Amino acid sequence: MATLTDRRIVDCLVENGIGFATSVPCKQLAGVIELVENSKSILHVPSNKEDEGMGLCAGAYMGGIRSCIIMQNTALGVVVNSLATLIQFYRIPLPMLISYRGEIGEKVACQVEMALHTKAILNQLHIPAYHFRNVDQLEDLDSIIKHSYMCGKPVAILADAAFWRSAE
Amino acid sequence: MIRYDVLKAIAPIVRGRLVVCNIGSPSQELYEILDQPSNFYMLGTMGLCSSIGLGLALAQKSPVVAIEGDGSVLTNLATLSTIANNPADNFTLLIIDNGSYGSTGDQPTYAGRKTSLADVARACGCESVVECAAEQTADELEKALASGSMTIIVSKCESGNVDVPVIGMDPCVIRERFVGEINRLGEARAES
Ligand SMILES: [Mg+2]
């Protein structure tokens, strides 16, 4: 069931002209994905793997539709090459809404392993990353998305367990 | 026929059309045979040609031809299920299947052995799948474009590359002139 927080996120995507979204599921993102799937303004094409999703987003963007990817941080290891050689090399803006598994409050120990590398990978790729710990930080989402389009770069929004716990 | 001959045969058909072309030798050979602003050359990112093509086809109305290789499709095999489940009637996926990883020295792929990419595409739910001999590729591509429905063509050819230079164009230039053509074709469509 989508929450008010999920709705605020998807409304913000739509208000920024995002008309194409791809996703690989995460429990924490279930509500957002449900709303994106049902949105009349967004074409939602689920991906089997996140690098495939980067390709879909690049194609949709060149076709004139702003796109975004919804994914887990565990997949950042999967998309390093696609980010470097497609999204960054061709200078394609791409907001990445990422559930930040493995942070404080996580219940699955293995998730911590990729959490340890999450910010390091994003830093290494020079991708601006915004760590959301509380639902109040959602007020920055609009400017973060605008920033991505202003500079033609990918940006990462990392929403951790505390963020989703504070969801309304 | 090798890939270069197939590309030469289809060049008159893809002239003026939106083409997304696979990394390495396919893009380099196409660049030499028919460079045009409506070609999107992949300079990196193995496996994503069909995904870029599908995203582009879903986002706008002009026909899109994605020129893939067997090795590249094997890298991103699940793309065939995404394509099947999100059909775009302006999308044609041409897989030039030479049974080898051409750009890296013609090491054999599994598509040249037991794996049929056409069967995989059908099993994924793609409805219009054609496997043809290299010599038939131009005819099949023409038919696919005329059909107005999404088609996957698997063109079986011999392995081998032609010695052509690396593409020196800046990626942003490739993207900008490609987007320019997408917009021009879109406007022409809106006027007619
Ligand atoms: Mg090959």
Tell me the pLDDT tens digit for each residue of B115-131.
Answer: 999 999 999 999 999 99
pLDDT of A105 reads 84
Listed residue (B52, B109, B125) closest to A55, CA to CA: B52
**Residue B50 contacts A, CB cutoff 8 Å:** yes
**Residue B45 contacts A, CB cutoff 8 Å:** yes
Q: How confident is the model at residue B5 (pLDDT cuts 50, 70, 90)?
A: very high
Of A46, A48, A62, the CB nearest to B182: A62
Count of structural domains within chain A: 1
Count of structural domains within chain B: 1
Contact A56 B51 (CB under 8 A): yes
CA dihedral A125, A130, A132, A137 (to 10 degrees): -170
Of A59, A81, A91, the CB nearest to B51: A59
pLDDT of A131 reads 98
pLDDT of A1 reads 83
A81 chain-B contacts, CB cut-off 8 A:
44-46
Contact A59 B57 (CB under 8 A): yes
Of A43, A48, A89, the CB nearest to B58: A43
Q: How far apart are CA B85 and CA B123, in angstroms?
A: 12
Q: How far apart are CA A54 and CA B97, in angstroms?
A: 24
Residue A73 phi/psi, 5° resolution?
-65, -25
> Going by C-beta distance under 8 Å and a sequence separation of 6 or more, which residues neighbour residue B102?
B3, B24, B25, B26, B69, B71, B159, B160, B161
Query: Amino acid identity, residue A66?
Result: R
DSSP state of B29: H
Contact B50 A86 (CB under 8 A): no
What average pLDDT values come out for chain A (168 residues) when binned by 10 residues?
96 98 96 98 98 98 98 96 98 98 92 96 98 97 98 98 93
For residue B60, the chain A residue with the least C-alpha distance is A63
Which CATH number does the domain housing residue A10 bear? 3.40.50.970
> How do B107-108 and A94-100 pair as beta strands?
unpaired
B91 chain-A contacts, CB cut-off 8 A:
none
A86 chain-B contacts, CB cut-off 8 A:
42, 44-45, 48, 52
pLDDT of A168 reads 84
> How do B18-21 and B64-69 pair as beta strands?
parallel
Domain around B63: 3-191
Q: What number of other Cβ atoms are within 10 A of residue A91's Cβ? A: 15
A49 chain-B contacts, CB cut-off 8 A:
76, 78
3-state class of B173 per DSSP?
helix
- Secondary structure string (H, E, C) spanning A7-63: HHHHHHHHHCCEEEEEECCCHHHHHHHHHHHHCCCCEECCCCCHHHHHHHHHHHHHC
Mutation target to probe the A interface, by most A beta carbons within 10 A, among B79, B82, B174 is B82
Residue A48 phi/psi, 5° resolution?
-80, -30
Q: What is the pTM of this model?
A: 0.98
CA A52 / ligand 1 centre spacing (Å): 19
Listed residue (A160, A168, A44) closest to A97, CA to CA: A160
Domain around A96: 4-165
Tell me the pLDDT tens digit for each residue of B14-62.
Answer: 999 999 999 999 999 999 999 999 999 999 999 999 999 999 999 999 9
ipTM of the complex: 0.97
What does the angle CA B31 – CA B165 – CA B102 come to, to the nearest 5 degrees?
80
> Going by C-beta distance under 8 Å and a sequence separation of 6 or more, which residues neighbour residue A134?
A162, A163, A166
**Which helix (H) or strand (E) is A98 found in, with range?**
strand A94-100
Which CATH number does the domain housing residue B151 bear? 3.40.50.970
Tokens of A35: 């709303």
Contact A82 B48 (CB under 8 A): yes
Mutation target to probe the B interface, by most B beta carbons within 10 A, among A90, A91, A153 is A90
**Residue B152 contacts A, CB cutoff 8 Å:** no
